[in-house]
Amino acid sequence: MADEKKHHLFHRKKDEEEERPVGDQYGAGEGVYTAETVTTEVVTTGQDEYERYKKEEKQHKHKQHLGEAGAIAAGAFALYEKHEAKKDPENAHRHKITEEIAATAAVGAGGYAFHERHEKKKDGKSAEEATGEKKHHLFG
């Protein structure tokens, strides 16, 4: 138990037979304080990189689908508000404003889905490069 090394950033090294003087509250001259840093070297193999890229590709695909769903929902709400503007002439101005906001949200969600699609493609190409194999295309 006494020989176990504790994983702390700062260790106080002192001899066991040395006693602390009673009047010395700060421990001056008693021991040496050292700072130790632990470095860990991570070696990634091609298989680990491939799995990481595939996982990221799957995450981007999921986010792309969420963006597409958001675009569909916001677009549907914009069409509903357009219908309400025609149906309710007293509050037509409010419905038109809400329609424009929903249309803007639909465009933003579509842009997000588009961005995630390109991220997914990029991770797919990176995963392909990580394996070291290249697909042979006829043109390109």
pLDDT single digits (tens) 70-121: 999 999 999 999 999 999 999 999 999 999 999 999 999 999 999 999 999 9
- Residue 4's pLDDT is 56
What mean pLDDT comes out for the span 8-18? 56
* Backbone φ, ψ for residue 126 (5° rounding): -65, -40
Amino acid in position 51: E
pLDDT classification of 11: cutoffs 50, 70, 90: low
In the three-class reduction of DSSP (H, G, I as helix; E, B as strand; rest coil), residue 11 is classed as strand
Give CA–CA dist 101/105, Å, rounded. 6
115/37: higher pLDDT: 115
- Residue 124's pLDDT is 86
Q: Are 113 and 105 in contact (CB under 8 A)?
A: no
